[in-house]
Amino acid sequence: MVWGEDMRPRVVVTGIGAVTPIGIGKEAFFEGLLTSRNGIRRVSAFEPDDYRTQMAGEVRDFQVEDFMSKREAHRLARFAQFSAVSARLAIEDAKLSIDEKTRDRTGVVMGCGIGGIEVTEDQVKLMHSYGPRRVSPFFIPMMIPNMASGQIAILTGARGPNLTVTTACAASMHAIGEGFRIIQRGDADIMLVGGAEASITPAGFAGFCALRAMSQRNDEPEEACRPFDKGRDGFVMGEGALVLVLERLEHALARRAYPYAEIVGYGASDDAYHIVEPDPEGKGAALAMRRALDDAGLRPADVDYINAHGTSTPLNDRCETTAIKKVFGLHAQELMVSSTKSMTGHMLGAAGVCGVAACIFAIETGMVPATINYKEPDPDCDLDYVPNFARNANVDVAMSNAFGFGGHNGVIVTRRFLK
């Protein structure tokens, strides 16, 4: 097949479902971005006194019984509950009906970095305390990461292509990109794409604490996540899920759906450098950004806003700034760049789709979300990071970055929908 621009179907976003630390549902999530709501608090899921890091972006007001029966919920790990609810909210937002006419042409791609870690912790304890016969028959089906996409298909009846991407914190960005490609190559008309994570558990926290990757600003948890700020000292973990409804443009218009934005470019690469540290020269990240721009047929000067990976770690923020400068040159100084992780925490496998949803928010509302907790500029991070308050600005083209352990990089470019 010849991949000419005129031969590829256009792909639009027609639904958004969100379960996040700053709001459940698209409206609450968008309001959180608009008001720079801070979702980071001291951990409540377990007693964190013995941990180097004691705060996180938890989804505190989530009542799964509001969306499904207790029987259904009991068989799903928390990350899969988040996935199922986000998918239902996205489908409702899109006013989409998945029926016998559409189900074979509707697929799912979800990103997840870790899966049902709380189930693994509980079942290992049971096994060591009471023996292997006490392990639940639902242990494996609950903990494996592909149950995010599998359960969405089971609950919605979608029988099209179904995949799970596990590229760490780039997973949901790659999920969006692969769903985009599936529609472009004609294998589906509708794709439910996104990511989910729920790793705020004793073992999950202990592992990241052992890496010394998370902030230790425990006496002021709401100010701990400060991307690009000189005083940043590590990321803050978040949890949640977001699902986007992607549709082939003709399909969306035929059912009179409202396109929030158009997905126009996808780029992926690897640093090939280190298991957890980014390439200090930003080569892999820059390559993914260039590939996304080339895929979209856009120039660097066409981009108005970047939702950065922006983890609040000393290395990532400096390296990402370097990569942006490599790609955008002088235009880097004109770009608005912000990290919504400052509000939600780092949602790991769901981080990428959270960034893309923030780009859609900027395009849809004309408000660019802020980087909150930005207090002291860092000479190594010298771009416009939209400090502390959302900014009124026209955004026609936005880019979102996601980078993961193992050097995985994913980038999506969204554009204002124009017929």
Active site residues: 169, 309, 346
Alpha helix locations (H) across 38-146? 70-74, 78-94, 117-130, 139-143
DSSP string, 367-407: EEPPBTT--SBBTTB-SB--BSS-EE---SEEEEEEEETTT
Q: Supply the Cα-derived Rg of the chain in whole angstroms.
A: 20
Token representation of residue 178:
């692969």
Buried b (16+ CB within 10 A) or exposed e, 306-324: bbbbbbbbeebbbbbbbbb
DSSP 3-state assignment of 225? coil
Residue carrying the six token digits 């979800």: 110
Strand partners, 368: 391
Buried b (16+ CB within 10 A) or exposed e, 226-261: bbbbeebbbbbbbbbbbbbbbbbbebbeeeebebbb
Strand pairing of 23-24 and 391-392? Answer: unpaired
DSSP string, 304-337: -EEE----S-HHHHHHHHHHHHHHHGGGGGT-EE
Strand pairing of 336-338 and 240-248? Answer: unpaired
Buried b (16+ CB within 10 A) or exposed e, 345-359: bbbbbbbbbbbbbbb
Token representation of residue 222:
């709401």
Backbone angles phi, psi at 402, to 5 degrees: -145, 130
Q: For residue 208, with 0-12 CB atoms within 10 Å meaning exposed, 13-18 middle and 19 or more buried, which class applies? A: buried
